[in-house]
Amino acid sequence: MLELQQLAKRHGEVPVFREVSLRLEAGEFLALVGDSGVGKSTLLHAVAGLEPVDAGRLWLDGEELGGLDEAGWARLRRERLGFVFQAFHVLPQLTVAENIGLPLELLGQAADRIRARVAEMLEATGLDGLGERLPAQLSGGQLQRVAIARALVHRPRLLLADEPTGNLDPGTAARILDLLDAARRREGTAVLLVTHAEAAAARADRVLRLHPDGLRPGRDG
């Protein structure tokens, strides 16, 4: 469902990565590991069209994405991608429930359907009772769960997640990984997850390590 061929990225004159090729099937869970600064976050942003690449081609569900303009990328993100950013990007002026329901609002879904699905996501992420709070009234781990609920609420084809269990205690982290498992089993969501956490990588179907000259199999250097 996702294919990357020979992606390369530079920041100005400084190369980040090159020759990054990858195939991800529907429902597959791929963990992406690698040293700090090697470009894992940059690669996720590139797959979501949030950062241009310097070379290479990308396909999602057979559609080549290279030709998309900004509006096309925005529509693709809205309809088919979920993204958990390292810095959460939860909107401070919206309540927890409004944050989680936002992708459905943007897709024009009816208010009662949104309410029901948001309640389901609050429960699934262990945030019941916190829907009316503002993000400033949450802990770091709770905020992270809001970001995950928002990324999955519209049942995306592909979830891109940057360290989604980074701030969580082991029990909550396991619960979030269960949620990702459920999304891929029930909805066929493919998961591309950047992580330093052994426990998260251990749950993946495959682990790939990013090097400056491409991806290689394996958990170790």
Interface ranges with ligand ATP (CB under 6 A): 11, 16, 34, 36-42
**Measured between alpha carbons, how far is 96 from 127 in angstroms, rounded to an integer?**
9
The least CB distance from residue 67 to ligand ATP, in Å, is 25
Are 126 and 146 a contacting pair, CB within 8 Å?
no
**Measured between alpha carbons, how far is 140 from 87 in angstroms, rounded to an integer?**
10
The least CB distance from residue 37 to ligand ATP, in Å, is 4
Which parts of 25-134 are beta strand (E)? 29-33, 55-60, 63-64, 81-84
* Encoded tokens for 11: 């920041």
Name which of 32 and 153 has its Cβ closer to ligand ATP: 32
Name which of 76 and 194 has its Cβ closer to ligand ATP: 194
The least CB distance from residue 202 to ligand ATP, in Å, is 18
Name which of 155 and 211 has its Cβ closer to ligand ATP: 211
| CA-CA-CA-CA dihedral for 51, 54, 57, 63, to nearest 10 | 40
What's at 131, amino acid-wise?
G
The least CB distance from residue 19 to ligand ATP, in Å, is 16
The least CB distance from residue 135 to ligand ATP, in Å, is 22
Name which of 52 and 108 has its Cβ closer to ligand ATP: 52
Chain centre distance of CA 108: 22
* Encoded tokens for 163: 């360290």
Buried b (16+ CB within 10 A) or exposed e, 161-193: bbbbbbbbeeebbebbbebbeebbeebebbbbb
Name which of 39 and 156 has its Cβ closer to ligand ATP: 39
Are 134 and 95 a contacting pair, CB within 8 Å?
yes
* β pairing state of 190-194 and 158-162: parallel
Comparing CA positions, the residue from 205, 194, 176 lying closest to residue 26 is 205
The least CB distance from residue 45 to ligand ATP, in Å, is 8
Name which of 150 and 209 has its Cβ closer to ligand ATP: 209
